[in-house]
Chain A
Amino acid sequence: MPSSLLWAVDVHGRVYSLSTVGQQWELCRDAHLEFKRVTAAQQCCWGIGCDNSIYLNVHASDVPVRYKEESYENQRWNPVDGFSERLLPSDRWQWSDVTGLQHQPLDGFQLPSSSWEWEGDWYVDENFEGEPTEKGGWTYAVDFPATYTKDKKWNSCVRRRRWLRYRRYQAMDSWAKIPSQQTTLPDPFSDISCGGWEVSEEPRGRLSLWAVSLQGKVWYREGIQHHSPEGSVWEEVPLPGEVVQISCGPGDLLWAVLWEGQLIVREGIGRDCPKGTSWTVVDSPSPDVGAIHVSVGVNVVWAVTKDNKVWFRRGVNSHNPCGSGWISMVGEMIMVNVGLNDQVWGISCEDRAVSFRQGVTSSELSGKTWKIISLPRDGERSHSSASSHQSAGCFFSGEARGQSVVSDVESDTEKGATSDNPEPFSASVDQTFDPPKSRIPKVTSDSFISELVSDREPSKNIRDVTPAVLEEEEFTAPSAGGATPSPLDPQWSNVDLEEAQVQQPQPGPALESSDTCSLSSVATYTLALEDSYVADERPLWAWMSGGGCNVDSHSQISWFNCSINTSTLVQSVQSMTLSVTPAQTAAWRRQILEQLGERSKREMDNFKHYEQAVEQSVWVKKGSMQWWRDWKPNKWVDVQFALEQFSGPEGHKDGILFVYYNFYEEKKYLHAFINEITILVPVLNEAKHTFAIYTPQRTQQRWPIRLAAATELEMHDWLALLSVSCCDSRGIQGPPSKQAIWSITCKGDIFVSEPSPALEATPYPTPCDQMYWRQVGGHLRLVECNNTGVVWGIGYDHTAWVYTGGYGGGFFQGLSSSTDNIYTQTDVKNVYIYENQRWNPVTGYTSRGLPTDRYMWSDASGLHERTKTSTKPPSPQWTWVSDWAVDYGVSEGTDREGWQYAADFPASYHGYKTMKDFVRRRRWVRKCKLTTTGPWQEVPPIALSDVTILSCSAEGSVDVVPLWAISNKGDVLCRLGVTALTPAGTSWLHVGTDQAFKSISIGSTSQVWAIAKDGSAFYRGSVSAQRPAGDCWYHIPSPAKQKLKQVSVGLTSVYAVDENENLWYRQRVTPSYPQGSSWEHISNNVRKVSVGPLDQVWIIADKVQGSQGLSRGTVCHRLGVQTVTPKGQSWDYGIGGGWDHITVRGNSMEPTRLPSLTSTPIPALWSPLLDINAEANSSAT
C-alpha cells in the first residue's frame, strides 16, 4: 500500500501532515498561512484559512491536471474569395463550439484562476477521426451542420477546423486560494468537509465538498472534477435548522450537527444527485447533552457530544444512512474523524493528542482501543522549542509575538515577518495586546483560538486585535436565522462582512463559553493554564483529517513502533523468518552460512563412501479428488489421486501421478510422469477448486487432466507439492531468469517459462507445447519485461506492480517460495450481470419476457442465467467488497436509470428509448477483491493500462532502462530512473498527446509506437538516451476500416493487432524511415502479439482446435521468422486455452543454428539494404 498522509492543525493554526511511513509530523509549506480546519482526500487537501478564505492544496502528481480547450473555426466558400471567413447571416459564428451554437473566439478563453497556466499557444488539430488531415486541418461539408469529411469534394461549401489549447493546473503542492464569491457568500465559512469520491465511477478527482458558514448555512461546491480541482461555484443547500459542523464520507453518507445538538442526515445522495434530496433529523446520542461533532465514513458514523463523550452509530449503510442506534464508546474527545476504510482518529480532550482507533475492521467497525500517536514534529529537533515558548509566555509586544510565532515555524523568515508584515492577518493580530493578557500565551497568534479569548476578555479584546476596522462594522443578529435563540445574539457583534478576509476572530465559539455549554467542538478546548502550556512541548492539536490516509487494520503503520524492527516485522508475515532484508546481510547470518559450509566439508567430504543410515525410498502421497472424466457425457467423478516420488538416476527427483477411477465398475487408472508435465494451472471455476495438468500430448489434444479438490487449501497443498516435484525433476529452482517468458491466464495467474536457445532455433525450434511453465505468486492482468530483469505488471484494478526478484508467494509457501521479496498483493475486479426487460402494451416494460426470450437476469450473452443472489465471484479466491449497483459506464450510453434499449434481443443497444424499441437491458456491477502474496511491489500512485520496457540489443547493457506506460486515463508516461537495480524507477514524465492512448511498445532501438483510442497508430520521433521522451508524435493511419488495439515492436519488426483480431506487419520500416509505409495482413485469429528483442513473434491466438477440444486464448509461436523473412511462415501452437497475455521481450538469447543450414552468413547488424532485399524477396514469393 503506498504511503499516504494524515493531516492535522495545531492550536496555532499550523498545518502538519504525517505520512503513513513517516515518523514525524511535517510542517506544511506555506508556513505563513494559518488554518482553522482542513479536510483531506487522497489527491488533495482543502482548508479554511484564518483569513476565512478557502484554500486548496492539490498534491503534485507525475501526471499533470490539464484541460483541453477547443474552438472551431468555420468558413464558407464563395465564388469570389474561395473559402473565407465571410459567412452567411444565417450561419453559425465564425468561431464556435462543436455545435456551432456558442460563440467562442480564441481570445475569449480565460484561465479559470491564477492557479492555471497555458501549456502553449493555440494550434490546429490535424487528426480527424484517426486519419491525418491535409495541412491546415480543415474538414469539409456540404453545409452547416452536416457530416464532415477530411477530403474536399466538388460540393463542399463549408469547412471548419478545430483549434486546441491546453491549460494546466500549476499550483501543485501549495495552498492556492479559491477565489471567493463576495456577492453570494455573506458570511465566512466555519467548517468544511470533502468526500463522495466513491459515489460515482468517475476517475479520481471528483469530490463532493461541503461547507458550513458562520450563519449556519450549508453550501455545496459544484463541479469539482479531475480536470477542475477547484470546482466552479458554491450552491446553497436548504436546511431545517442551523448547522455548526458537517461531515461527508467517501460514499453517500453526509451528516451534520445542528446548533441545538441534534444531527441531520442527508438522504438521496447518489450518482445523479451528489447533493442529495432531503434531510432527516436524528436525535443526539444523549437526551440531555447535545452533539457537537460528527464524522462519517462509508458505513460508520461517529459523534461527539458536548460532554466530550464519543458515540458510535450502529447499523449505518447506504440503504439506511440514519443507522439504528447509538453506542457509547470509551474515551473523551473533542473531535473524531473517520478516514478511508472507515478508520477513525480522534483528538483527545485531556491532552489534545491525536489518537488512532485500533482494530477497526469491516466486521468490527467500532474498533478496539484508542492509541495515541505521539511523534515529534519536524523543526522540534532543530531548535529549542522551550525558548520559543518562553518568549511566547512572556509579553506580547509586537516583537515578542513575531518571535513566538515565526521562530517555531522557520527561524529564517523571522525578521522578514516582523519587519515587513507581508501577511495582513498576521500583522494585524494581537500587536496591541498589553502584557497583562499574556496569560493566554501564544494563542493569540491563532485567530482560531483568539475566538476563545474573545469571550473571556469580552469584545474589547477583539477591538484591540483588529483596531479601526471593526468598531464601526458591528452587526446585529440577523433575523433570518429564526431558529437562533436570542442569547446567541452577541455572536454577531463581531462579524465583519467587509473585512472577512482580514484576520478575524470567529464569533461562533465566542458565545459558547459565555454560555458554558459549547456548541462547537472547537470551543470545548479550555485553555491550558499558562505554566503547563509553556512547559509542554507536545503538540496541541485542534483539528485533523484522515480522509486522505489510506490505512486499514492490516497495514503496518510506522507511527507506533519506532524500533528498527518495523520493516522486518512487516515481511515476516510470509512464513518463517525474522531474517529478512536487514538480516540477510547481517554478519551473524553470513557467519552461520560459512560455518555450515565448513561443517559439511569437515564432517562429510571425506566420508562420502560411507553408507547412508536412512535409505531413500519411494514416497507416496494420496488423496481424493474429482476428475472431469474423459468420456462423454463429461462430468466430475470421484477419483483417488496419488503422487509417487522417487529419486531418479542422476539424483534428480522424479515421480508419477496416478488418477484411479472406475469405468463401468472396472477399476482403471491414468498416469502422467512428473517430468512430462508442462504446466499445473488453476482453472477459473466459480464453484470448484479446479486445476488442469498438461503434457505436450494433452496440449495438442487441447484436453488436459482436469481435477477438483475438496477445499482451496487442499488444492493449494497439492499444487505446491506437484509444482515442487515438477521443478525438482527439471532441476529448476529460484527466481525466473532475466530471459524468462512471462504469461498470464484469464484467471490472473502468472506463469514463467525458461527459454532455451533451441526455442528460436531455425529451422527446427523446440515445439512450444514442450515448454515448461511454472507459476509465480501474485495476480495480474498484464506483464511486461525486458532482458535485464526489469518486470512490470498491471492488475485488473490498473495498479502498477514491479517484480521484486523473488519467487513463490501465493500458495507457494515455505520451501517453494523465497523468504524475502514477497509482499501482499490485492486486486479488484468488476463482475457484471444484465437485467433484461421486454415492453408490452399493457404494463410497459416488465421483467416478464417472451417464452423464447433470454433470462430476465443474465450474463452479457443472455445465454446463462445470472441473478443477483446466485452470481458468485469468479472463483472462491475472490470476495465481494461492494453491493450490486447499476452500471452507467456502458460504452453505448444509458438513460438515467441505466437502461439501454433495442428492438429485440440480441441487437445493438442505445442509451435512449425510441418507438421501435421493445426490449431494454441494464448492466449491474459488483466489485470483488482478491488478496494474495507474490514477488510484486506496488508502484504508486498512477493507475496504468499498458506498459513497455526496452530490451537492450545483444551487447548493450544500458544503465537507465527506458520504460513507457499508458495511464488508465490514456496519458502517455515515461518512467525515469529505471535500472536493473531499481526496477521501480523514481517518477513519471508526462508526454503530451491530443487524445487518449491505449497501447504502447518500445523496440530495441528505442522506436516507440503507440495506439490511440481512435484506433490509429503513432510513432514517437527522436527518442534517444539523451531525450528519453522524444520530441513529437507522427500519426500513422490504421489499416483500412480497422481500428488497431495493440502494438508490439521488436528489433526491427512492428506488429499490431486490430479490434477484429487481425495481425498486421508494418512494411518498409527502415532506420531512415522508421514509420514504415503500410500495414500488411499476416494472420487473423490473433488477440495479442509480443515481438521479442530478436524479432521473434509470439501471439495469443483466439481459437485453436485440438484433436479433442477447442481452446480459446492460446500461446502461439511464429515459425520461420528470420532476418530475411521477418514475417515468418506458420504458427506453432503452445499452451492454452485461457491465456490472456504473453511477453517474450526478455528473451534475447541467441538461437542455436544448425551450421549446415545457415551456409549463407547472416549479418549481425541489420542494414536497410538488406531489408529492402527482404521485402523484394517476400513480395516476389
Chain B
Amino acid sequence: MSNAPRPRVKVPKTASAGEVIAIKTLISHEMESGQRKDKDGNVIPRKIINKFSCAFNDQEVFSCDLDPAISANPYFEFNAKVPESGTFKFTWVDDDGSVYEDEQKIEVS
C-alpha cells in the first residue's frame, strides 16, 4: 500500500462520432513550489507535476506545462473531439522523473 500520487479522470463512456466531449482530471500531488522554507529556514526543494498530456489513440489532444503557481492536487477540465472508438491516455510527469498514467476507453457510435 502506498500513498503515491493518485490520478482520477472522468471521460464519458460513449459518444457519437465527431462529438466534442468534456474531460476532467485530478491527481493528488502536493505541488511543492520551491518557494517555501521549513522551520529551520531552509528552502523546501521544488517538487511539482511539470507536464500533463492527454492523447487519443496515440494522437495528442491537449497538454499543459505546469509551473509552481498551479494549486496542490492539479485539476484540469478540457475538451476532446472523438472521431472513433478508442482509448484516451493521460500522463503526468513529476519533477523527480516519475510518470503517472491512466487510461479510459470510449465507445463511439
A binds B: no
Listed in ascending order, the chain B residues whose CB lies under 8 Å from chain A are none
Listed in ascending order, the chain A residues whose CB lies under 8 Å from chain B are none
